[in-house]
């Protein structure tokens, strides 16, 4: 291994960590090799040691019970992740350390020490209990990026209620689907949220979704903007009033290690979004470990993950991972270009952020906005940069490294998924050189491989499917209410391995490069969208008879949504109206960038739409590949000549 590292170091596309970084780093190449080997050879000892650093009310009797495709970790153990994130840190003397520094889009700043956060979470746990929420109940959160989102998540975890956070940019219908699928008892929302100075009426959306879903008993409403809202008698309660009345004494519930911690909805290639279920003990151990190791976390770091808590990145690396480690996190409410593209850099300078974790799509937007924005600020507090959510192109990687990191901060590219719960592939920043564009090596306990559909492992540099050959602690346990879908999607594609749904290759040094989805899932600005979901939204409009959606490479967003629609006879399609309709059905993130109003779609004789050809049309490429299976190959020429709207 070290030979091969020496060898790759000579290649020019490698970027080694600066000697200053490497020297201060906790884990070096030998540590990684030894720990990685142990994590696979003796997972019980390895994970037992990691989990053993945290507090357990009752110790486990068995580290892993694996009955494919169902894993149980830390069997028989009882613990509480919120206790570990808060009480434990206060007990070990971190009570006065800053847990969260929050900045509103309007510049307001609120700071919570570990003691203060614990206080609020205890109060909120009492509020939930007083509203009749008990362990196992589902609670949906539809909130802006405000500290109450973190407090509400931890309060749920504290009493064993299962949180389901729904991104605040989702529409009424998307929210209603998620509330309905989870059969949530309580919805926690806010009067409204700020986004680029505009006010987004969350409570109005919540009211409409509550009516559609029909299952909610209570609604807890945080006051953020002071907008006028309708409070429904007997159902709606103001957060600030309930918090004021609640006591700060609260004992965290001792929960089974496999007690569900949260459901998080994500898009798949078929049907409605699926509720990915994560449980307590394993998720806790893996987010705790990866946060410390991957980000080489030090006591004095200020960590900023720019994701929204509505996505898994926010769950694992704004909330659970950092707080379990007793870290200080910066949390920001708003848009990166508010008031201008200097906002992040201004915040980094003012708060002295040392680790920044963001997405390639944001990096590409910053690149496009120009170096003058970051160059205006002092970014010398930064020591490490991370990327997540989609493949990062080498050009964006280099810009991030040079302009933001001053060629001083390692850039780590982290591959993982909602389903994996924690980072799965990345090179440890102080241990290995990075290869821009390649995520890197597997994390501890991750037995990753590249296979073909027959389950044969491929040679170095051959492209294939990314799989994981054994369970890891933060693996999803099931799809909420649909275990069959869990089996089929993740363990039923290639026998006996977890199928990630991504195409990838591994080079001779063992570095993995993840190329993108191999299913009908788009990645638009780092957000997963199912083509089927958008198609059903389109055909639910009266003017549309049929629709096909594909992705088109986009210089900033990674991919953009392109829709091909057939007009319902007797109607005309209005592209602007159709975009509004998709926004209403799913959310602005799914709005098609380009719409082709077509007279036919390229279908095989058996009626299957050949999306491959649509992708070529969308990208403006020459049609290539065998068109002879098409019922009417001339469709493609007509589509290529169709104006884009
Ligand atoms: C993609 C986000 C390449 C991938 C944590 C995956 C990546 C999907 C990377 C999961 C990366 C995420 N390099 N591709 N570093 N990180 N992806 O569930 O296609 O929102 O399957 O989780 O994003 O997206 P999700």
Q: Quick: pLDDT tens for 372-420.
A: 999 999 999 999 999 999 999 999 999 999 999 999 999 999 999 999 9
Which ligand 1 atom minimizes the distance to the CA of 426?
15
Alpha helices in 416-553 (DSSP H): 483-491, 531-539
Residue of 444, 439, 433, 427 lying closest to 389 (CA atoms): 439
- Orientation of helix 43-52 relative to helix 280-294, angle to 10°: 90
> Which of 275, 412, 416, 501 best tests ligand 1's pocket when mutated (most atoms within 8 Å of CB)?
416
Q: What is the mean pLDDT of residues 135-155?
A: 98
**Distance in Å, CA 389 to ligand 1 centroid:** 4
Pairing of strands 109-113, 236-238: unpaired
**Distance in Å, CA 194 to ligand 1 centroid:** 27
How many Cβ atoms sit within 10 Å of the Cβ of residue 340? 10
Give the Cα separation of 274 and 291 in Å (integer).
Answer: 26
Residue nearest to atom 22 of ligand 1 (CA): 417
Which ligand 1 atom minimizes the distance to the CA of 425?
15
Residue nearest to atom 24 of ligand 1 (CA): 417
> Which of 443, 523, 527 best tests ligand 1's pocket when mutated (most atoms within 8 Å of CB)?
523
> Which of 274, 448, 502, 521 best tests ligand 1's pocket when mutated (most atoms within 8 Å of CB)?
502
What pLDDT shows up at residue 280? 98
Over residues 83-117, the pLDDT tens digits come to 999 999 999 999 999 999 999 999 999 999 999 99
Residue nearest to atom 3 of ligand 1 (CA): 391
630 bridge partner residues: 604
Burial of 341 (0-12, 13-18, 19+ CB in 10 A): middle
The pTM of the full predicted model, rounded to 2 decimals, is 0.95
Residue nearest to atom 13 of ligand 1 (CA): 391
**Rounded to 10 degrees, what is the CA torsion of 360, 361, 364, 365?**
-140
Which ligand 1 atom minimizes the distance to the CA of 516?
19
Which ligand 1 atom minimizes the distance to the CA of 419?
18
Q: What is the mean pLDDT of residues 237-243?
A: 98
**Distance in Å, CA 148 to ligand 1 centroid:** 27
Which ligand 1 atom minimizes the distance to the CA of 439?
15
Residue/partner pairs of 515-521 with CB below 8 Å, 24 or more apart? 515/391, 515/463, 516/390, 516/391, 518/465, 519/268, 519/269, 520/269, 520/270, 520/611, 521/267, 521/268, 521/269
Which ligand 1 atom minimizes the distance to the CA of 418?
18
**Distance in Å, CA 628 to ligand 1 centroid:** 35
Q: Per the annotation, where are the binding residues for ATP? A: 389-391, 413-418, 502, 517, 528
CB 493 within 8 A of CB 499: yes
Over residues 189-234, the pLDDT tens digits come to 999 999 888 999 999 999 999 999 999 999 999 999 999 999 999 9
Would you say residue 2 has pLDDT above 60?
no
Grade residue 12 by pLDDT with cuts at 50, 70 and 90: low
User: What average pLDDT does the structure give for the chain?
Assistant: 95
> Which of 269, 290, 390 best tests ligand 1's pocket when mutated (most atoms within 8 Å of CB)?
390
Q: What is the mean pLDDT of residues 176-196?
A: 96
Residue nearest to atom 8 of ligand 1 (CA): 417
Would you say residue 1 has pLDDT above 60?
no
What lines the ligand 1 site, CB under 6 Å?
Answer: 266, 311-313, 388-391, 413-418, 439, 500-502, 514, 516-517, 523, 528
Q: Which residue has the higher pLDDT, 587 or 11?
A: 587
Percent of the chain past pLDDT 90, that is, above it, reads 94
Cα first-last separation, the chain: 53
What pLDDT shows up at residue 3? 42
> Which of 514, 516, 517, 524 best tests ligand 1's pocket when mutated (most atoms within 8 Å of CB)?
514
Q: Per the annotation, where are the binding residues for Mg(2+)? A: 539, 541, 544
Residue of 196, 172, 186 lying closest to 218 (CA atoms): 186
CB 567 within 8 A of CB 578: no
Give the Cα separation of 200 and 227 in Å (integer).
Answer: 10
CA 596 to chain centre: 31
> Which of 320, 389, 516 best tests ligand 1's pocket when mutated (most atoms within 8 Å of CB)?
389
**Distance in Å, CA 149 to ligand 1 centroid:** 23
Grade residue 7 by pLDDT with cuts at 50, 70 and 90: very low
Return the minimum-mean-pLDDT range out of 226-235, 322-331, 407-416, 619-628: 619-628
Q: What is the mean pLDDT of residues 347-355?
A: 98
Q: What is the mean pLDDT of residues 288-293?
A: 98
Pairing of strands 328-332, 302-305: parallel
**Distance in Å, CA 178 to ligand 1 centroid:** 22
Which ligand 1 atom minimizes the distance to the CA of 313?
5
**Distance in Å, CA 81 to ligand 1 centroid:** 25
Give the Cα separation of 505 and 513 in Å (integer).
Answer: 5
Output b/e per residue, 60-77; b: 16+ Cβ within 10 A: beebbeeeebbbbbbbeb
Per the structure block, which two tokens stand in for 218?
């209570």
Per the structure block, which two tokens stand in for 455?
């389950």
Q: Per the annotation, where are the binding residues? A: 195-198, 313, 337, 389-391, 413-418, 502, 517, 525, 528, 539, 541, 544
Per-residue DSSP letter, 425: B
Give the Cα separation of 369 and 525 in Å (integer).
Answer: 16
What pLDDT shows up at residue 269? 79
How distant, in Å, are the alpha carbons of 126, 184, 257, 312 from that of 165? 20, 11, 21, 9
Give the Cα separation of 224 and 220 in Å (integer).
Answer: 13
Give the Cα separation of 602 and 600 in Å (integer).
Answer: 7
Would you say residue 346 has pLDDT above 90?
yes
Give the Cα separation of 502 and 517 in Å (integer).
Answer: 4
Residues with Cβ < 8 Å from 569, sequence gap 6 or more?
545
Q: Where are the beta strands (DSSP E) in 452-509?
A: 464-468, 478-479, 498-506
Which ligand 1 atom minimizes the distance to the CA of 517?
19
Which ligand 1 atom minimizes the distance to the CA of 416?
5
Q: Per the annotation, where are the binding residues for CoA? A: 195-198, 313, 337, 525
**Distance in Å, CA 390 to ligand 1 centroid:** 5
Q: What is the mean pLDDT of residues 4-20?
A: 67
H or E element: which one contains 643? none
CB 127 within 8 A of CB 220: yes
**Distance in Å, CA 122 to ligand 1 centroid:** 34
Give the Cα separation of 34 and 219 in Å (integer).
Answer: 50
Which ligand 1 atom minimizes the distance to the CA of 413?
15
Which ligand 1 atom minimizes the distance to the CA of 392?
13
**Distance in Å, CA 417 to ligand 1 centroid:** 5
Would you say residue 10 has pLDDT above 50?
no
């Amino acid at each position: 291994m070290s030979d091969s590292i020496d060898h790759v170091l000579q290649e020019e596309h490698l970027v080694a960590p600066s000697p200053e970084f490497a020297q201060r780093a906790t884990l070096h190449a030998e540590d990684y090799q030894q720990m990685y080997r142990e994590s696979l050879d003796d997972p019980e000892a390895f994970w037992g040691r990691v989990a053993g650093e945290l507090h357990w009310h009752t110790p486990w009797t068995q580290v892993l019970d694996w009955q494919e495709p169902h894993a149980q970790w830390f069997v028989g153990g009882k613990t509480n992740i919120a206790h570990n994130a808060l009480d434990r840190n206060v007990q070990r003397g971190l009570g006065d350390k800053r847990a969260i520094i929050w900045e509103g889009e309007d510049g307001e700043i609120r700071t919570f020490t570990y003691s203060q956060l614990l206080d609020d979470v205890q109060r909120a746990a009492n509020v939930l209990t007083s509203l009749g929420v008990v362990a196992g109940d589902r609670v949906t959160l539809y909130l802006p990026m405000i500290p109450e989102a973190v407090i509400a998540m931890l309060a749920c975890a504290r009493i064993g209620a299962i949180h389901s956070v729904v991104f605040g940019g989702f529409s009424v219908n998307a929210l209603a689907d998620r509330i309905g699928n989870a059969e949530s008892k309580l919805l926690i929302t806010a009067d409204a949220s700020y986004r680029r100075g505009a006010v987004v009426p969350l409570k109005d959306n919540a009211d409409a979704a509550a009516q559609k879903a029909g299952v909610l008993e209570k609604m807890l409403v945080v006051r953020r903007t002071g907008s006028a809202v309708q409070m429904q008698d007997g159902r709606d309660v103001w957060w600030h009033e309930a918090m004021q009345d609640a006591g700060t004494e609260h004992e965290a519930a001792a929960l089974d290690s496999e007690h569900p911690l949260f459901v998080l909805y994500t898009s798949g290639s078929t049907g409605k979004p699926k509720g990915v279920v994560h449980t307590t003990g394993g998720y806790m151990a893996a987010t705790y470990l990866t946060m410390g190791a991957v980000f080489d976390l030090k006591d004095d770091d200020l960590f900023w993950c720019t994701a929204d808590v509505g996505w898994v990145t926010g769950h694992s690396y704004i909330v659970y991972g950092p707080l379990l480690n007793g870290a200080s996190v910066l949390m920001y409410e708003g848009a990166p270009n508010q008031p201008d593209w200097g906002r992040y850099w201004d915040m980094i300078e003012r708060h002295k952020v040392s680790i920044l974790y963001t997405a390639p799509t944001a990096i590409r937007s910053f690149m496009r906005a120009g170096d003058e924005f970051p160059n205006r600020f002092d970014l010398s507090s930064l020591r490490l940069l991370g990327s997540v959510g989609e493949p990062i192109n080498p050009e964006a990687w280099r810009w991030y490294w040079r302009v933001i990191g001053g060629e001083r901060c390692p850039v780590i590219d982290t591959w993982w998924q909602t389903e994996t719960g924690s980072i799965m592939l990345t090179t440890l920043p102080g241990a290995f050189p990075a290869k821009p564009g390649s995520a890197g090596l597997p994390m501890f306990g991750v037995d990753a491989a590249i296979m073909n559909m027959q389950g044969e492992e491929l040679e170095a540099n051959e492209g294939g499917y990314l799989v994981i050959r054994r369970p890891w602690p933060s693996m999803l346990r099931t799809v909420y209410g649909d275990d069959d879908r869990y089996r089929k999607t993740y363990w039923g594609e290639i026998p006996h391995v977890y199928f990630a749904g991504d195409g990838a290759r591994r080079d001779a040094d063992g570095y993995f490069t993840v190329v993108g989805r191999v299913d009908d899932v788009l990645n638009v600005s780092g957000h997963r969208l199912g083509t089927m979901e958008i198609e059903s939204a389109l055909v639910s409009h009266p003017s549309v008879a049929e629709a096909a959606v594909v992705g088109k490479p986009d210089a900033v967003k990674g991919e953009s949504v392109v829709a091909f629609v057939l007009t319902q006879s007797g109607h005309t399609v209005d592209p602007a109206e159709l975009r509004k309709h998709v926004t209403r059905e799913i959310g602005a993130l799914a709005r098609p960038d380009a719409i082709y109003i077509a007279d036919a779609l390229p279908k095989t004789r058996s009626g299957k739409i050949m999306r491959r050809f649509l992708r070529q049309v969308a990208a403006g490429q020459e049609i290539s590949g065998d068109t002879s299976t098409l019922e009417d190959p001339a469709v493609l020429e007509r589509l290529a000549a169709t104006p884009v709207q």
